[in-house]
Structure formats: C-alpha cells, structure tokens
Structure 1
Amino acid sequence: MHGPQPPARPGGVVATLALAGTVAAIMQTLVTPLIADMPRILDTSASNAAWVVTVTLLVAGVCVPVSGRLGDLLGKRRMLLVCAVPLVVGSVVCALSSSVVPMIVGRGLQGMGMGMVPLGIALLRDVVPAERLSGSIALVSASMGIGGALGLPLAAAVAQYANWRILFWGAAGLALLIGALIWWVVPDVPAGAKGQRFDAPGAVGLAVGLVSLLLAVSKGGDWGWGSGSVLGLLALAVVSLGLWGRYELRTRDPLVDLRTTARPRVLLTNASSVLIGVGMYAYMLIAPQLLQFPEATGYGLGQSMLAAGLYLAPGGVMMMLVSPLGGKLINARGPKTALVLGAVVIAVGYGVALPLMGTAWGLMVAGIVINSGVALAYGAMPALIMSAVPLSETAAANGFNALMRSLGTTVGSAVIGVVLAQMTVTMGGHTFASEDGFRTGLLIGCGVALVSAAVACLIPAVRAGGESAAADEEAAPGRPVASRA
C-alpha cells in the first residue's frame, strides 16, 4: 500500500484531497434522481428501495470514525487508498445490479469510502505549510457540500437523458482516478499513533450503537415513532453507547478518546456541528421539493429534476469561492469567529428564503447565502478540533466530527420529514406537503442555525497551558495548530 514515496507538493495534495471529498459527496447524491424510479428499476417495493439510500448512511456512520482511527495507527495515505477500493467496487456492483440486494450491497460499499474527507483534513496538518493550512482545511472540508450541490444536476442530467447505469460506471471511473491521484500525489507521512493497538471491541460497540440510533432516526417516519421497532432501536442505542463509553474510558488505546472529546473546545464544536448539519439539511430537503411541486398547488414551481438541480448548483459554486475566504478569516480572526459567522449567515439565508420561496430565483439566492455560511462553518470545525487534539488523534477526532455532522443531517432529515408529513394539503386526489409546512421547515432551519451560533460563542479560546496544550506540544515543529482563537 505504500507504493512510491512522492515528494510533498502542497498544491497538488490539497487539490487531490478536495477532489476526493467532492467525489465522495457525489457518491451520496448519485441516486437522488433515481429514487422515484428505483422500485421499477429494481422490481421491488418502495420500502425496500429506500434501503438504497439508508444503507450508505448507516455504513458511513460506522466506517468514518473507524477509518479515522486506522489512519492514525497505519498512516493516513494508506487509509485513503483503502477507502478508494470500496468506492470503485461498490460503484461497479451498483452498475451491474438488476435487483435490490446487490444494489444495497454496492451502496453499502460506497458508504465505506466516506472516510476520505476527515482523513484528508487530518493529513493536511502533516504536509501543508502553516500559512496555507487554514485555507486548505476550509476547501477540503467544504468539498462534501460542493460535491453534493454540483453532483445533483449532473446526476439528474444523466438519469434524464441516458441509461441510469452510466451514473455508476462514471462513479467507478472517478473513484479510480482519485485512487491513482492519491497514489502519486499524496505523500506517505509517519502514522501519528504508530505502535498503539486498534480497539476492535470499541469499534463493534460503536457500530451497534450508531446503527441502532441512525436506523431509528432515519426510519422513524416510515415505521412510526411510537412503534416497537423504533423504540427498541432507540433503547438499544442508549444502552450500547452507554456501555461503549464506559469501556472507552477504561481501555488503554480507545477508538475515540472520550477525555479529549470532553474538552470544552472539542465538545462545543461537535455540538455546534450537529446543529449546523440540521440547519444545512433543512434547505437541501425543502428547496428541491418546492422547485418540483406542481404549479397547481399555488406554491410549487413546476420545475424538472434537472432544472431544480441547476437552480441549486450555484450554491455549490459559492461554497468553492467562499472556502478560501473562510481560510483567510480563520487566519485573521480565528476559527471560532468563522464558525459563529457561518452559522449566522446560514440563518440569514433562511431569512431570505422565507419571503422569496415562491420564486425559483429566490430559492437560488437563498441557497447561495446558506451555502456560503456552510462553507465558513465547515472550514472552521476541523480547525477548532485540530487545535485541541494531539497529532496522534487528528484523523480519529476529525472522523468523529464528521460523524457529528452526519448525525445532524440525519436528525434534520427526520425532523423536516415529520413536519412536511404532518402539514399537508390534498389536491386532485394527491397529498402534498403544505405551504405552511415548508415555511415551518425553513423557520426550523433558521432557528437551529441561530442556536448553533450561540453554542459556538461559548467555545473557549486556546490559552497557553490551557486545554490544547497537549495538541501544541505534539504539533509539528515550527507549525502553529490552526489558530489560537
């Protein structure tokens, strides 16, 4: 897995890792244009077809923190290459699938590769000069959002005008390209936690707890929040995560160092990350529906999936443009300021969306504002995390933060889904989410973003001899740890 030892070329490394994050995000949005047709394509029920989306979320939730820890133990470049393999194999399996089971298997394999982004962010700390670190972190961190926004219209165009299998063959090609670029461009730096053991019991315990929690949250709307299945899964999640936490505190080399995670700077950043995830996903769920709902409803805009994707694409472009500016802001004022400002900008975006939700251009403008805030926030989170953890835990800590963001999007999807399912209107024998339901969802997104800003305001600054002293002591020689504010 080591291969050639390429010299460190920071520009090429950053571009490769940003492209890797973009491709990983495209993998997640790949099936969005196919959701309605998936039961017909796979000759199965709608409930079975829904697992094509759910399984990627579940597998990624388990594998992201595990791959992060393995990156600390075995080397981040090696694990980046490992993550590329299931992306390729999973895409090929999906492209060849004609029934639901192999499609679910392929989508699960794609979920295994989602650890690329936190691994890449952690690796930046090892290879990028201090003066370029903040901007590089911001760009790679925002690449997930960039890929999601840009991948949707691309996938919609292919699905609308070509065979759906081309989507997955294209994904396999992109994953192969990423693997080749990582092999030749990304340097092999020493593992930060080399010599420590891998916490297999901790990985199993976390997997049981996360799968139970994510499955309950993502399927609660379909199965019923008061059903025995959902309540049983939630109970299992509480028990298993409680036992897992107790074990992690007692083992010598934990999968996730909960003592580090409990530091106020890390804890509050992760809490804000969950809320940012909720706030971001509210728009991602509401805007496409408003754009595609029939005009006969009085508030739908009657756009095709492709047109809706094109209206949303400028938000992804704006993330790409704002990310370098976010890096400069982090250098000048610190990541805490960038996170607070990002959350406030997201709230402002929802404020723009509320009066303009009746026009496609209004939703596009709101998306540009919201995604600008997401770019600022996503760049600040890893900088805050890495300023408070030692080098031996950077990949694991970033993986855990990525998990918190993913948990936020899952919760956001569930909450907005419940609101839209409860607030409905019936027209021509069809039931639609009501205009009031969409307005309520936008208000929730705005409120959660403001709460995230308030939580971020409580994040303590790093002081000499303070909570991140361990991180500073283990930082690479001559390299400051992100920012001090």
Structure 2
Amino acid sequence: MITLILIEALSSFEHVMIIAALPFISRAFGLASAGWVVTSFLLVQASSAAIGARLGDMYGRERVLAVILVLTTTGSLISAFGGSIHFVIVGRCLQGLSGANLALCYGIARQMVPAKRLPFWVGALTGGVTLAAAFGYILGGYLADLGSWRLIFWFAAGYGAIVLPLLLVTVPRLGNAPPMGGVDWLGGVLLPLGVAGILYAVTSSVTQGGRGPWIAGAGVAGVVLLLWWWGHEWRRPDPLIQVRLLTQRPVLIANLCFAIAALGIMQFPLVLIQYLQQPASSGAGLGLSATAAGWIKLPSNVGSLLAAMLAGWLCGRHGGRPVIQYGGLLAALSLGSFPFFHSNPWQIMAITIGGAAGMTTLLAAVPNVVLAHVQPERAGEATGLTMTVLRVFTAAGAQLVTLSLAASATPALAGGRAYPTEFGYTVILAGIALSGVLIVLVAQLGTGAARPRRT
C-alpha cells in the first residue's frame, strides 16, 4: 500500500511543481505559451481518469498502472530534453495520463485490503495527494532555483523509474472484472481536443491580434468537436461521462458552481506564485525565490486538511448547498482583500490560508450535493462527471489567467523583461474574488435541502 501512496503522489507532484516553476518557464517561452504547460496536462487528465479506470476494470488495474507509469516517465523525459515549448507540451500531455492513478490505486486497494481496513487506506491515499501538493510547491521551487526548471522533469522521470519496479515487485497480480461494454475512446478524445481548439483560438486572437484563418478555424473546430462530444455522450449507453445527469437541477447547479470555482478561485495559486516571484523592481511582486514562495503556500495546504474535515461535518449537519456558499463566501472575502493587503509575506500567507480553506470547503461540499441527488448505483457516474467538470474548467481557467497576465504585461526595468502590472494583478484577483460571490448566488438557485442520504 505504501507503493500505491508513492505512485499517487507522483501525479500531484507533476502538477504543483510546474506551477511553482511557471515563472521560470514563462521567461523561457513567454507567459501565454507557458500556460499550455498547465492546460495540456489538465485536459488529458480530464479524459484519462475515466478511460484508465475502465481499462483497469477490463485488463487489470496493476497492469494499466504500470503502463501509465512508463508513459508518464517517457513524457517527463520528453519535456526535460525538449528544446521548444511544443516538445514540453507533448511531454506534459503524456504526464497527464497520471489522472487515472488515483482511481486505479483505489481499485487496487479495494482488492488487496480487508473491508475493515479499507477506509483507513483510502484516507491514506487521499492524504498522500494533499501532502504531496503541500510539499510539491517547495520541492518544485527548490529545483527551479537550484539550476533549471527542467530539473523538475528529471525528478519526475527518476521518481517514475523508482516506483515502477516497486509496483511490479510489491503489488501482486490481481484479477480483473469480466468485460462489460467497451471503452469510450471517441468521447475521451473529442472532449480535450474541443476545449483545446477553443482555447487556442482565444489565446492566438490575443497574442497574434486575431489574424489568420487557422485561428478562426481552430475555434470553429473546437465548438464542433464539443457539440459532437455532447451528442455522442448523450446517445451512448455506456458513455465516458454521463451528461444526462445534468438534467437534474441540483446536479446541474452543483457542477456549475464547480465550473465557476475552477475558472476563478482555483486559479489563485497560479497568480500567487507568479506575483511572489516577480521582481519588486518591475512595479509589482515581492521578488522572492521560488523556494520561499513554496514555503508561503505550505500553511494553506496544511490548513486545507482541517477545512476538508470541517466541511464534511458541516455537510452532514446542514447539507451540501449551504456549505458551498460558506466556501464561496470565505474565498471571496479572503482573496478579495489581496489587492489591499499584500505588502509583506505574512499578509499574503494569511490571505492564502483563508482562500485555500474556502476553496477546500467548496471542493468537499459539491460532491456531497451531487451524491445526495442521485441513486446510489449511479454514484460513480456522478462523481466522474463532477471531476471531469473540475479538470476541464481548471484547464481552461489556467490558460485564460496566464493569457490575462501576459496581456497586462508592459516592459519593465527588471532585466529588460515584460512583467504583469500591479493593475493587471488587481483586475485578475478582483475577478477571482467575484467568482466566489457568483458561486454563493448560483448555489441559491438549487432546489431541495441537498442533505446526504442516510442508510
């Protein structure tokens, strides 16, 4: 089981370490292009989670997990060696296949561990993800400060090369479920390609002034692919994502809150890391090292563990919908104060703790609302839908935020580079804070008490 915890931690490392080093990558390739390093990873994760879990059911979870480790390690090497942003993005797409790791690890744990001990190990797997995220910012920042952001990919490749033989040696060959239907490969491909096409068109229209038929063509193609995906998932008897669940109003409202959070308040860490590391001589930022920025982020990650437990208790007493509103309001108040209180690291640390607590409260409450309004036998489909919404809109939000930061940049004195302005940060952070207010209002549109079902 320790091996499974180490494997799942890799996926978390691959995400947060890159965010910690994103200012370094943006200096090499430009901020708008660097955003694709995050976006591509999350888009592939959105599809790989469901596809990987299904393949694990059919061919054996430990086998599929081993293949994913080989592919993600290969992706790390491609990004480490890549001389252009395109190679880095290709490598990140392969790394995004790790989105299936947690579901596969849960499945293996269920097969290996006695029922009485299963809740403990499921909690351990989840806790491992949180701790990896907490220390991933520090580790990623340290590696970037040490010499180059490429060291992060070398670390990920080495990590994968270590845990792969551990998996093969310590996890026994487990049986797989009898085949039931096929794998929705088409649904898994159409969704990320459609979103990527639209984001490419939006990004290029800003960075290139909207010129060229390829830009408009990419946008139109993205819309067509998404419409095709929706129709395909609606008609398929065993879809990758059960979109029919969105016909239930509470499920729709809860997922809409998730989408708003992913576009808004969940982008705060990306903006925060950029601001903390930006040279103060540019007129904005504190000029901290990437390692120091990671340490400022650490208390908020630890506090998120406590917030998650409190949110679960509140959902049990009051239902999920008011807890969604508590989370949105706390995030809005905390992050909305950033433009007024950011002159020293201690102020920023306090704001970050409040924002992370609100964000985690929301993340814990939305699944409770969804699960309270679907039949128990559809719980897996419902959570799959919710996590896909979260990842797709987080990917879109990351690209839009980095694009907004790049658009606000003006030539600065620090090293002759262009950096986002203080006004640009203020506008973006105001939008992020307003997303919390919007969540409070949208959640009010839900119907029913949204209390968890009792058995």
Indicate the residue corresponding to 1:154 in structure 2.
139
Indicate the residue corresponding to 1:329 in structure 2.
314
SS at structure 2 position matched to 1:356:
coil
SS at structure 1 position matched to 2:419:
strand
Indicate the residue corresponding to 2:48 in structure 1.
63
Indicate the residue corresponding to 1:367 in structure 2.
352
Indicate the residue corresponding to 2:433 in structure 1.
446
Indicate which of 396, 399, 402 corresponds to 2:387. 402
| 8 Å contact from structure 2 (residues 331, 359) kept in 1 | yes
- Structure 2: gaps of 5 or more residues: none
Instruction: State the 1:276 CA deviation.
Output: 1.1
| 8 Å contact from structure 2 (residues 51, 183) kept in 1 | no
1:301-450 to structure 2, matched below 5 A, reads: 301-389=286-374, 394-424=379-409, 426-428=411-413, 431-450=418-437
Deviates more, 1:212-221 or 1:256-265: 212-221
| Alpha-carbon separation, structure 1, partners of 2:445 and 2:238 | 30
Indicate the residue corresponding to 1:468 in structure 2.
none
Cα-to-partner distance string for 1:373-425 (whole Å, 9 max, x where unaligned): 12222222333334445566555543432232223323433443454445455
Cα-to-partner distance string for 1:49-103 (whole Å, 9 max, x where unaligned): 7755454244334423433554566676765555444333333444565676654
| Alpha-carbon separation, structure 1, partners of 2:357 and 2:78 | 36
| 8 Å contact from structure 1 (residues 196, 253) kept in 2 | yes
| Alpha-carbon separation, structure 1, partners of 2:143 and 2:62 | 32
| Alpha-carbon separation, structure 1, partners of 2:33 and 2:426 | 31
Deviates more, 1:24-33 or 1:356-365: 24-33
Indicate yes or no: 2:204 matched with 1:222. no
| Alpha-carbon separation, structure 1, partners of 2:304 and 2:109 | 19
Indicate yes or no: 2:12 matched with 1:28. no
Q: Flag the 1:188–1:221 CA change in 2: closer, same or farther, 3 A.
A: farther
SS at structure 1 position matched to 2:76:
helix
Indicate yes or no: 2:235 matched with 1:269. no
Indicate the residue corresponding to 1:478 in structure 2.
none
Q: Flag the 1:184–1:340 CA change in 2: closer, same or farther, 3 A.
A: farther
Cα-to-partner distance string for 1:145-180 (whole Å, 9 max, x where unaligned): 664453122112123225656533432454466664
| Alpha-carbon separation, structure 1, partners of 2:295 and 2:131 | 13
Q: Which amino acid aligns with 2:432?
A: G
| Alpha-carbon separation, structure 2, partners of 1:201 and 1:145 | 32
| Alpha-carbon separation, structure 2, partners of 1:452 and 1:270 | 11
- Structure 1: gaps of 5 or more residues: 1-11, 464-480
| 8 Å contact from structure 1 (residues 135, 323) kept in 2 | no
Q: Which amino acid aligns with 2:357?
A: S
Instruction: State the 1:451 CA deviation.
Output: 1.0
Indicate the residue corresponding to 1:278 in structure 2.
263
Indicate the residue corresponding to 2:183 in structure 1.
198
Indicate which of 255, 259, 273 corresponds to 2:244. 259
| Alpha-carbon separation, structure 2, partners of 1:131 and 1:344 | 37
SS at structure 1 position matched to 2:316:
helix
Q: Flag the 1:400–1:379 CA change in 2: closer, same or farther, 3 A.
A: same
Indicate the residue corresponding to 2:73 in structure 1.
88
SS at structure 1 position matched to 2:288:
coil
| 8 Å contact from structure 1 (residues 292, 303) kept in 2 | yes
Equivalences, count = 451
Q: Flag the 1:377–1:90 CA change in 2: closer, same or farther, 3 A.
A: same
| Alpha-carbon separation, structure 2, partners of 1:301 and 1:170 | 28
Indicate the residue corresponding to 1:470 in structure 2.
none
Per the normalisation by structure 2, the TM-score is 0.80
| Alpha-carbon separation, structure 2, partners of 1:416 and 1:362 | 23
The alignment-based identity, stated in percent, is 26
Indicate the residue corresponding to 1:210 in structure 2.
195
Indicate which of 243, 261, 270 corresponds to 2:228. 243
Indicate which of 81, 94, 99 corresponds to 1:109. 94
Instruction: State the 1:215 CA deviation.
Output: 3.7
| 8 Å contact from structure 1 (residues 68, 397) kept in 2 | no
Instruction: State the 1:445 CA deviation.
Output: 0.9
RMSD across aligned positions (CA): 4.3
| Alpha-carbon separation, structure 1, partners of 2:6 and 2:95 | 16
Q: Flag the 1:355–1:34 CA change in 2: closer, same or farther, 3 A.
A: closer
Deviates more, 1:261-270 or 1:47-56: 47-56
| Alpha-carbon separation, structure 1, partners of 2:434 and 2:172 | 41
Cα-to-partner distance string for 1:266-317 (whole Å, 9 max, x where unaligned): 2222211111112234422332233223333454322122222222222222
Instruction: State the 1:141 CA deviation.
Output: 6.6
Indicate the residue corresponding to 2:278 in structure 1.
293
